[in-house]
A and B are shown apart, each in its own frame.
Chain A
Amino acid sequence: MNAKLAWRNLWRNRRRTLITGASIMFAVFFAVLIQSMNRGSHEYMIDNMARFHTGFIQLQDSRFESEPSLDNVFEMDDALFERIAETHPNISFLVPRLETFMLAASEQQTRGAYVMGIEADLEHQLNGLKDHLKSGRFFTPGEGAVVMGEGLAGRLDVAVGDTLVLLGQGRFGTTAAGKFPIAGLVKHPMFEMNDQMVYMSLPDLQWVVSAEGMITTLLVTPERVRDTDVVAASVRESMTENGEFTVKTWPELMPELLQAIEFDMASAYVMSAILYIVIAFGLFGTILMMTLERVREFGVLLSIGMKRPSLSLVLFLESLLIGVIGVLAGCFISFLVVFYFYHHPIPLTGDLAAAIMDFGFEPILPFYLSGSLFLEQAVIVLLLSTLICLYPIIRVFRMDVLQASKA
């Protein structure tokens, strides 16, 4: 009966309730859209960056962080890989890497190079590396050839078919040096890496630096970017207990990226907040009117014996119902839109698209879709409704029955 009373009271002024509900609907709609585009582009960015650069989750020897040298490598061991893969169901696959810095020299020039021993197929699965090949071909393991970044090749003035000399330190102070034919050039999506990268097959690099069967880093790839934290937690829990390994996630490995994203998120939140403040005033106006025009009615209700808490409950329900109507409608239409664009990302055109393509990314505006997107807006609106209905409730508790009946 209380719910019935609240519901019917809402429709006493149909137009006002509809306008208020509609304004909440639009706020929810735009907030969901802003957040979806914002988080969508962040995930896309993180995804691309992490895939080429650090991976989402890294397993390292625990000494590697303070001393990133080839002395602190660990053994690639099938049993170990299996153990890691079993820590969480959302682990998609594992990518081993052996990373070190060496001097790269051509006949004319010498440069610092970031040399990475990879299993090309796994690396490709992670970031589509082979699609970035600009000229030549990829190496086969054991052939002793390299694939390098276009930028670095330009600086060294070498091309496919030329020979690259690498010089550095191997494991336990040995000297690592060799001559390597250049099998291919990649255009690396990230500038600094384009200017530094030299890829070699993992067993080849292991042999060069006297670290047979060893790797510096194991990338753990979760199913989705947003699974990073849970997966990392599981891996961390089971792999770090005896202090042998450390587990790091992309925000720890790329703090600058995290910072940029947080800044961007903050501006999206400010926009949503402004939206909701405007809506809150609208809702408050409606609730205020609904209260003021019914003071006498409240007086009668209290006179005949309705208790103040019951009357407050009715008022709370009224406020809540408007909110719920708005949230449901808003979530519904925004779901349709987000769902569509999630599956059909908006293609970008013009300079922006060109710039993004230059990075090796597809020029699209990706959307983010998850229940939390809608849940957050629902919680915000329902909190607002609750907060706003405090006004009529306080009025009811302070109301003098006689005075109200005369109002």
Chain B
Amino acid sequence: MNQAIIQTDRLTKIYNPDTVPVHALRDVSLSFEQGEFTSVVGPSGSGKTTLLNMIGGLDKPTSGSVMIDGVSITGMKDRELIDFRLKNIGFVFQHYNLIPVFTARENVSFIMLLQKRDKAEMMERTEKLLQQVGLRERMDARPKQLSGGQQQRVAVARALASRPKFILADEPTANLDSASAMNLLDIMEKMNREENVTFIFSTHDQRVIDRARRVITMVDGAVESDIATDQKSQTA
């Protein structure tokens, strides 16, 4: 019933091929399905960020390809890629996610504005999403007035706002205390369960890893293991 929305084919990335080559990814072939809740783990420098950047169309592979919903993004031009990201991919970064001069509400609706969504829908959806991430009361606060955890929740709401095919989150909890981290995970999990939103996130945190239903372990740029875990392991 589930179909592959992301497929990488022998994805390889070599940084500085001419001077000091760094093999950040080696022949990574993975496939992700709609509705996944997947964690990419591995030691520092193992290629997690590189992999997520490749899938998100933020970086180009040295060889191999990335297909999203049957479309190869590997050969796309910069302009096409920006547009593709806007329409298909939600991003949550580790930090500096939000536009500092915009309120939480504006940050969320901004992406829908970029997508040229209908205004009424935009406002309604913004409020609904901020409510879902538990920030109904703080909608008009600017990022500076929010805690790190609250900011990341706004970032998740923004990523969801664009109705992406999947959301990529590179170490979204790295800057958070554990209570905030678990709270963020709760929200992501709820979105995943209730709305079938696909999440792929990288992390170092064992408790975050425990919540994933699929754990891909990278070592030295290659996939070392790819394990589907028990779906019911939801207690932190």
Contact = CB atoms under 8 A, between A and B. Distances in A.
B162 interface: yes
B91 interface: yes
B91 to A, nearest CB: 6
A402 B97 contact: no
A311 to B, nearest CB: 10
A9 B58 contact: no
Contact of B158 (A1, A302, A304, A308): A304
A8 B101 CA distance: 6
A307 B100 CA distance: 19
A326 to B, nearest CB: 21
Interface residue tally on B, bucketed by range: 20 to 34
Contacts of B99: 5, 297, 300-301
Contact of B101 (A5, A302, A401, A405): A5
The 5 residue pairs across chains A and B that have the minimum distance between CB atoms: A305-B86, A8-B101, A305-B85, A1-B113, A296-B96
Counting chain B CB atoms within 10 Å of each CB, the highest count among A8, A12, A305, A310 belongs to A305
Interface residues of A, number: 21
B189 to A, nearest CB: 23
Given A305-B111, A308-B82, A310-B114, A297 B87 contact: no
B110 interface: yes
A402 B91 contact: no
Contacts of A302: 82
Interface of A: 1, 4-5, 8-9, 12, 296-297, 300-308, 310, 401-402, 405
B224 interface: no
B53 interface: yes
Contact of B162 (A297, A300, A305): A305
A249 to B, nearest CB: 56
Interface string B41-72: 00000000000010010110000000000000
B79 interface: yes
B85 to A, nearest CB: 5
Given A5-B102, A303-B91, A307-B114, 19 more contacts: A4-B106, A5-B101, A8-B102, A300-B97, A301-B99, A303-B93, A304-B91, A304-B162, A305-B85, A305-B87, A306-B82, A307-B79, A307-B83, A308-B78, A308-B79, A402-B53, A402-B58, A402-B59, A405-B58
A12 B85 contact: no
Query: Main secondary structure on chain A at its contact with chain B?
Result: helix
B11 to A, nearest CB: 16
A142 B162 CA distance: 96
A307 B96 contact: no
B54 to A, nearest CB: 11
Contacts of B110: 1
A402 B59 CA distance: 7
Contacts of B97: 300
Interface in B178-194: none
A9 B93 contact: no
A405 B100 CA distance: 15
Contact of B93 (A8, A300, A305, A307): A300
Given A310-B114, A401-B58, A402-B59, A305 B83 contact: yes
Contacts of A301: 99
A297 B58 contact: no
B172 to A, nearest CB: 14
A12 B87 CA distance: 30
Interface string B96-139: 11011110001000110111000000000000000000000000
Contacts of B158: 304
A301 B99 CA distance: 8
B101 A12 contact: yes
Tell me which of B56, B106, B114, B162 has the highest count of chain A C-beta atoms within 10 A of its own C-beta: B114
B101 A304 contact: no
Contacts of A9: 101
Contacts of A305: 82-83, 85-87, 111, 114-115, 162
